[in-house]
Structure 1
């Protein structure tokens, strides 16, 4: 029997189908506040069994990009409540993705007086857009002290409590795309000499400690995490292949011990089959696959039990009715790449629904 459009249940995760809307930065949060436009956007796409929101900062210093939302103020919590209420009306579940950008930032995108932070003071290559100055190089990050790391963990915990207060079903930690949590994993970015640097266990420590602290605060069954093994996004220079494999095997085992709801894997051609198999072997809860899937390849993954759920990004981005279009085998709208990150309704909530001729 085909699985894609049938209900899903594993552990405490119960969804109306096997389709996940992937997290996608859309840059519509003016003043870093979730607004009515954002509520409309997610409500339109609540045909998904599970929605994972765009990356949302747990603290002011984690904002990094222009116009991304936060979840550290009462106004932000109130704004997100409108989103969760709208999504739940259609029977979808929604997790908020916590994203601290770390060194992938420019001071122009942060509140006055704040600096980007990272595991070390190693500047990321490349540029980032700012609303005030246009394209700018990444700023040199301030290396986190032990006190700074303690503060980051506390920020993630408080943000996760805020996530639950805002009505979300859970929180997804963004441990991918070269942002803060992944920065600690990479020895080319993390040159620390304390117990957060050095071998793979030390470099994994921040993710494990953050996850344990959040689990104590809201429950491990309300936590997911996103990984992108072997990815080089955001100047994540490659390192020893076997060490990468061992790092994600170790982390997946630790997260299984803690009892996380799911691991969300962003697929890429550099991930060896043995890493997929190892994660599947050591992690007993839900595994989500995402990236460049088609309806057919997604169904195949579900049938082979490689993944428990499948996530789509661009399909949901350009098609509010992506689930029904997919189920009926009707054409999809094309993505308007020119409006991915612009403010306003265009290319955001104005994609047309399918109507049969």
Structure 2
């Protein structure tokens, strides 16, 4: 009966508000009235709030805050007390911020018998900023997980962003490179050529592009770095932004050159085997057939043996040259472990 009296005290216009959530709790914090706006907003928590404790619709840490406000209301029943409370979001982790005013509801004896709470969502910009920060954090972690140097350029080839891997590979800090031209990474002999390549990419409907392997860039110490480059682009506020991912291929290029040189050496060795080495071997085989085994001390045998000695010496020299060439082209192919790898 008393609850009905309390509810009837609330203006009908406030009960029907589409903007404000209006609730009344008893002095123990149990709901005795919620308006349609509140019921609709938090229907994912309960179908009926009457009789349920108000803590089911707030962040767990807000309970003590509401108790303090209720005590103020009971101590000063003629005043309203503002409070910001976090309320749960449907299908999301996290909470919305809401602004409330609490005031005591009195019976005919002017004794507090309930708490009137009127509130509205103030999340708007605050919540959006929170979501933006969460997105920025995820984006930053994603970018930093890329195991290659990455930078973002504008249409004038100015560097606006670099990741940590760029600093590790090229040696430039953020303050040293951001705002500078990409041209800083080009060797002088290739600067004009590379500038034309980038300008062509910018003017010809920018899209995803993989530049041919083994371009030469230089680091802060002017040391050559062989790289592979991938380009992509996006438009922000009508301004073109170019994403450049640079893969350090210095070791890969070195290994490739070693393998190519070894293959060329093996081809040359194979040619020597099939041509130069075959001649003295054929001579030795042919001369051995001329030996007169029945007359060992014949003049023919002396001449044949001298020819065999010459052929053997020639064979030895060719064999030594093959061994020397093989040794000179013996290189270990190295595979550089990326510092991000665990094994």
**TM class, shorter-chain normalised?**
under 0.3
Q: Which has the higher contact order (CA 8 A, sep 6+)?
A: 1
More helix by share: 2
Tell which structure's C-alpha radius of gyration is larger.
2
More strand by share: 2
So what's the TM-score if we normalise by structure 2?
A: 0.16
